[in-house]
Amino acid sequence: MAAAQAAEAAETAAPAEGDFVLDTGLSEETIQEAAADESAAQVAVTEAVPAEAPPPPPPPPATADEIPSGTGETRSYSVHRYETLSDIAARADVYGEADLWPILFDANRDLIRDPDRLPRVTIRIPLDVSDADKASARERARSHTFNLWDGE
């Protein structure tokens, strides 16, 4: 009778035509035990290793108004094609005032030789600008004569 049950089980487990069959040489019972052991191991690992929380987002960059004068703190800015120091200084996230471009020029004299010809580089934007420095920059900006000559 056991042989009849085994034959019936073999017939019901027989693959249909076109099915892929992998003969591992292991009994069905051994395969089931291995699968159960693997599931238990995965549960144990999942329970033993808590999921890591993602790191908190970085704080937003400080604006010039949030940093006290004299800290020497700067941030970087990549100059785009045809952009001027006045354009950059006028940006709300920089100084919000075009006449403060001399502050940018002074902070980047190693990168910029002529304030009227801005190369496409990454400049430093000082964030700790005092009111006196701003007043001086405004006066310099108003008295600046632009070099319109494009020749050498």
Residue 89 structural domain: 71-143
In a domain, 54, yes or no: no
Q: Measuring CA to CA, which residue among 69, 147, 79 is closest to residue 118?
A: 79
Q: Is residue 53 one of the residues assigned to a domain?
A: no
Number of domains in the chain: 1
Q: Tell me: the pLDDT tens digits for 25-47?
A: 667 787 677 767 666 555 544 45
pTM (whole model) above 0.75: no
pLDDT in tens, 53-79: 777 776 655 444 444 445 678 999 999
Tell how far CA 52 is from the center of its chain.
19
Is residue 82 one of the residues assigned to a domain?
yes
